[in-house]
Amino acid sequence: MMTAPRVCGYRANRGVLVLDDDGSPIVGVWQPVCAPEEWSALCATFGDGSTYLARGSCTPRITGIPKTIKYLSSSLLRCQYRFPDEAADGTQVTRVCNTPMGGSKTSSKRSPYVYTRTTCSRNSISGPMVDEQVQRLLMAKLKQAQATFISPDITWPKAVQLTQRADKLAELEQQ
């Protein structure tokens, strides 16, 4: 409700701001609750695709975007369980499950959450252990990126022109 454009006087249709020909929001005739700047600032506190930004009952539903990620490696990990399968020619093969794994709470003290795949329920791994490894990989990657970073040699294409003009100006001033 707080993110509904009408709180700052703007009109919206199915979650999309109603704009005039110049692209400015059309203002309704009611008494607004806050100023448009305050409303923008409030909306900016929610990420893109946040369900809190879905405004009103006719707003198209946001699907496929998880509301929040509670555990670091959620949906980054893929289940590597191998299913026995049969190829087209009848030979026995294995197929990797490869579906994203999500975090889920456990009662264990050492591993208060695990990453698991509920649909095949063949794989489960200690959450804190995985997150530590993911953090290490990420830090190593960032370190490497920093070590190999070469700052681009930025030269202004009109530098020569500027020198020429400055010389010309100095010349004229001397006259």
Contact positions toward Zn ion, by CB under 5 A? Answer: 79, 81, 97, 117, 120
Would you say 121 or 164 has its CB closer to Zn ion?
121
**Smallest distance, Zn ion to C-beta of residue 129, A:** 19
Scored b (16 or more CB within 10 A) or e, 120-156 reads eeebbebbeebbeeeeeeeeeeeeeeeeeeeeeeeee
Q: CA–CA separation, 55 vs 72, rounded Å?
A: 28
Would you say 33 or 125 has its CB closer to Zn ion?
125
**Smallest distance, Zn ion to C-beta of residue 115, A:** 11
Would you say 10 or 115 has its CB closer to Zn ion?
115
**Smallest distance, Zn ion to C-beta of residue 112, A:** 22
**Smallest distance, Zn ion to C-beta of residue 99, A:** 5
Would you say 35 or 120 has its CB closer to Zn ion?
120
